Amino acid sequence: MTIDKIEELYVKEFPTTMTIEEAFYFPMEEVYFMLAWANGKAKNRHDEEKYYRKCLEIDPYKIYANNNLGYCLYCQKKYIEAKELYEKCLSDNIDLDYVPNNYISVLIALGRNKDAYDFVKTTKHKISKAIKDRVSKLDKTNKCLKKQDVIKDVVEEKEEAGQLPEFGIKRQQFSNEKLLEDELTARIEMGMLVFGMKLKIYKRKGEYGRQYIIPIGRLDLLCEDNNGDLYIIELKKDSGYDDAYKQTAEYLEWFENSPKFKDKKIYGIICLNNPSNQLIEKVHNDKRMKIFEYQISYTER
């Protein structure tokens, strides 16, 4: 369909003196924000960060852009950058619906438990009960970390021109978590068994369990069984990124303390490729959780 045809239909449906370009104009900061948000949903953190920064270059006070950029940095383990950004937000009263809770999560990730405890005790900002409970259980000490200790760069492997790939038995994995999430969601919605159970995506009026947002983070999948028991499903392509156990445990704790879900049984499922022995041991020691390993196999015949 040509732009002329679209304009013709638009004018017919919505009589106006505005042109279609004027009617559907988005300022560039809004375009960059939407691009960043979409890349965040796909967990493409590199481009998410890039577009949030472009958005803020145009409008430094764009609502939620600073908070979302901080969370993006947090997901990339760029904790010091996230801490500095959130402290500026607190100083300038930006995005205060979410920044205080996220700031505490960053402090904890840095090992600044005493700072987190002091902030909860002295701040006038609203802090979620789950975060308060989490902080209350920490030791009240600060760990000294240097910048190079907490920023972990993602190194991309590049093949040299003309070089043959190395053949052998290797564990294959999805290129990103979204592909794993898409596959798992499709199986659930087709009524197939997953993790040995018949699950369905959590759905309520105005709520959907895929990328389900709670005050302390964003769940990959929130599912339920026929008994109404809830399952937090955390997906990782492998065990080399965020601490999947810690993240899932925090989500479980939030649900266990939420008045909305107080009558629900809640469990955690971690699914990834090539889990470490340390992660397996942590999950096996927590009766609320199970861990599953996915595999992709290519067999030469």
pLDDT in tens, 241-261: 557 899 999 999 999 999 999
Which spans in the chain are helix H? Answer: 3-13, 20-23, 28-41, 45-58, 65-75, 79-92, 99-109, 113-122, 129-136, 147-150, 177-189, 244-257, 277-284
Mapped onto helix, strand or coil, the DSSP state of residue 164 is coil
Whether residue 4 is predicted with pLDDT greater than 90 in this model: the reply is: no
How many helices (H) and strands (E) are present in the chain, helices listed first?
A: 13, 8
Domains of the chain in start order, with CATH, are 3-150 (1.25.40.10), 177-293 (3.40.1350.10)
Task: Quote the CA–CA distance of 219 and 260 in Å, as a whole number.
Answer: 16
Task: Quote the CA–CA distance of 68 and 65 in Å, as a whole number.
Answer: 5
Number of neighbours of residue 140 by Cβ within 10 angstroms: 12
Confidence of residue 190 (pLDDT cuts 50, 70, 90): confident
Considering only CA atoms, which of 130, 89, 138, 134 is closest in space to residue 111? Answer: 138
Confidence of residue 177 (pLDDT cuts 50, 70, 90): low
Number of neighbours of residue 19 by Cβ within 10 angstroms: 12
Whether residue 292 is predicted with pLDDT greater than 80 in this model: the reply is: yes
Mapped onto helix, strand or coil, the DSSP state of residue 120 is helix
Q: What pLDDT was estimated at residue 162?
A: 43
Q: Mean pLDDT for the chain?
A: 80
Q: Count of alpha carbons within 13 Å of 118, Cβ hemisphere only?
A: 8
Write the pLDDT tens digit of every residue in 66-123: 999 999 999 998 988 999 999 999 999 999 989 999 999 999 988 899 999 999 999 9
Task: Quote the CA–CA distance of 27 and 154 in Å, as a whole number.
Answer: 32
5-14 mean pLDDT: 50
Which helix or strand (DSSP H or E) is residue 230 part of?
strand 230-235
Predicted TM-score of the model (pTM): 0.45
Write the pLDDT tens digit of every residue in 123-168: 999 999 888 998 998 888 887 654 444 444 333 333 334 444 443 3
Contacts of 77 (CB under 8 A, 6+ apart): 109, 150, 151, 152, 242
DSSP state of 192: -
